[in-house]
Amino acid sequence: MLLTPSRRSDTIWLQSGDALLLADAETGMIVDVNPKAEQLFGLSHEQLCSLHQSKLYPPDQIGLAGDHFQAAIRGDAKQFSDIDIQCADGTFVPVEICTSVFTENGRTLVLGSFRDFSHHRQTEAELRRSNWALAAIMRANVAATYADTDVKLLQDVCEAITSRSIFTLAWIGVAEDDADKSVRVAGAAGPAIEYAKDIQVSWADTRLGSGPTGVAIRHCKTVVNNDSARNPLFQPWAARAATYKIRASFATPLIDQGASFGALTVYANRPDVFGPDEITLFEQFALGLSFAIKSRQVQAKYQSAMEQMVEALAATTEKRDPYTAGHQRRVANLAVLIAQEMGLDAERCRVIRLAGLVHDIGKIQIPAEILNKPGKLSPLELELVKSHVVISRELLHGIDFPWPLADIAGQHHERLDGSGYPDKLQGDAIRVEAKILAVADILEAVSSHRPYRPALGLAAGLAEIEKMAGSQLDAQAVAAAVRICSAEGFSF
């Protein structure tokens, strides 16, 4: 709506819920204001009417205000919501300004309608914050589930907290049981990451243990330090914090069975940013993180126990059958090299090694005199030897391994063209791990000494697998094995 001077005394001008200010386009001086403007700025009509329009804004926004004023005069824009005003009491208030331009007695005037935008900005900020929190929690959950290592997990969680947020640093400290009760930085991220490098923090009841991290660990409770500059307990780190523009910090313990084993500490470059919402959020982060760390430790212990069981099984087979003694181990080692050469990931290589270590475990049920027979085997004896695969599969199936060892070992005599045993599987029906194991198995068996013949050597082994490449054996696995065995210095 265009307000003309004659209407300025009207009800709308006097009772408008928006602050209305009229300024001279040429000089920028304010010429009239309504009562709401007096109320918003905390200045009288006379005080406001002696001001240049630029004086309505904080010093660092005067340039922006000037641009908006000129844009309004040119008619390029009529609405601005990216600016604050400065009130008489020194406070800044975010406003939305709508402008219109008209002429009065040959003078061009700019009418500005100012509306307090605090609530809108606050809602916007809250929305941004909850979106950020949601994204950060999801990122941390992904890290907890998929991170390959604990270091990566901790790093990812710190990155989730500091990515696109007001938090300049997050680090995870582990409480050490050394003489100083030191806190080791196990993961950190954020623009102020240098602050955490070599930082001296303790969880003992000492000066270095008086900061948020130390207290959080020692007393198993959340600690908020909303202004580092004014907190005497933060003195040991005050100079360091000033260097990295850190003004507030927050620490919450990582807890397992009621006892803390570390802490999550988060920093911001503004004071008073850790309110109830942030405290709840980071406490939830720490809770999830504690659980993830502990369950990974349990999982790692379980996997290590299972690996030891595989090793023990391998050792048992080898003791009973001296001729294949070491065969499984050599096959396992070579299969890992082939898998690595083919670019398989570390976890898959590990599974291949374990499957290799026990792939012939079924031989413990074959009479030793057949296995060690120096001469040619009868058809019946041969069938008996071949049954070791099914026995291997059944034996391994009986143990609840966290890896598919039974399937892999059960397929190590299958061939791509279906000529293998026990199930005459073809092509992709055979697991890649079993295809790799088959190549390593043949290469090792041909190269080494057998009860019925002397060792034929590596060259004979390579010739054998190359002959079978593509038809019976996986061509890629054969090519990888040839590259490995042709390298200088290779031996089983």
For Fe ion, the binding residues (CB under 5 A) are 360, 441
Q: How far is the CB of 480 from Fe ion (least distance, A)?
A: 19
Q: How far is the CB of 386 from Fe ion (least distance, A)?
A: 9
Residue closer to Fe ion (CB basis): 84 or 441? 441
Residue closer to Fe ion (CB basis): 321 or 441? 441
Q: How far is the CB of 338 from Fe ion (least distance, A)?
A: 15
Q: How far is the CB of 412 from Fe ion (least distance, A)?
A: 6
Q: How far is the CB of 167 from Fe ion (least distance, A)?
A: 56
Q: How many beta carbons lie within 10 A of that of residue 287, not counting itself? A: 15
Q: How far is the CB of 413 from Fe ion (least distance, A)?
A: 6
Q: How far is the CB of 445 from Fe ion (least distance, A)?
A: 6
Residue closer to Fe ion (CB basis): 196 or 434? 434
Residue closer to Fe ion (CB basis): 5 or 451? 451
Q: How far is the CB of 324 from Fe ion (least distance, A)?
A: 7
Residue closer to Fe ion (CB basis): 246 or 478? 478
Residue closer to Fe ion (CB basis): 214 or 410? 410
Residue closer to Fe ion (CB basis): 245 or 450? 450
Which residue carries 């080692």 as its tokens? 333
Cα 367–Cα 370–Cα 372 angle in degrees, nearest 5: 105
Residue closer to Fe ion (CB basis): 185 or 355? 355
Residue closer to Fe ion (CB basis): 318 or 360? 360
Q: Print the SS3 string covering the chain.
A: CCCCHHHCCCHHHHHCCCEEEEEECCCCEEEEECHHHHHHHCCCHHHHCCCEHHHHCCHHHHHHHHHHHHHHHHCCCCEEEEEEEECCCCCEEEEEEEEEEEEECCEEEEEEEEEECHHHHHHHHHHHHHHHHHHHHHHHHHHHHHCCCHHHHHHHHHHHHHCCCCEEEEEEEEECCCCCCEEEEEEEECCCHHHHCCCCCECCCCHHHCCHHHHHHHHCCCEEECCHHHCHHHHHHHHHHHHCCCCEEEEEEEEECCEEEEEEEEEECCCCCCCHHHHHHHHHHHHHHHHHHHHHHHHHHHHHHHHHHHHHHHHHHHHHCHHHCCHHHHHHHHHHHHHHHCCCCHHHHHHHHHHHHHCCHHHHHCCHHHHCCCCCCCHHHHHHHHCHHHHHHHHHHCCCCCCCHHHHHHCCCCCCECCCCCCCCEHHHCCHHHHHHHHHHHHHHHHCCECCECCCCHHHHHHHHHHHECCCECHHHHHHHHHHHHCCCCCC
Q: How far is the CB of 350 from Fe ion (least distance, A)?
A: 19
The rounded distance, in Å, linking the Cα atoms of 394 and 221 is 52
Q: How far is the CB of 475 from Fe ion (least distance, A)?
A: 21
Residue closer to Fe ion (CB basis): 293 or 409? 409
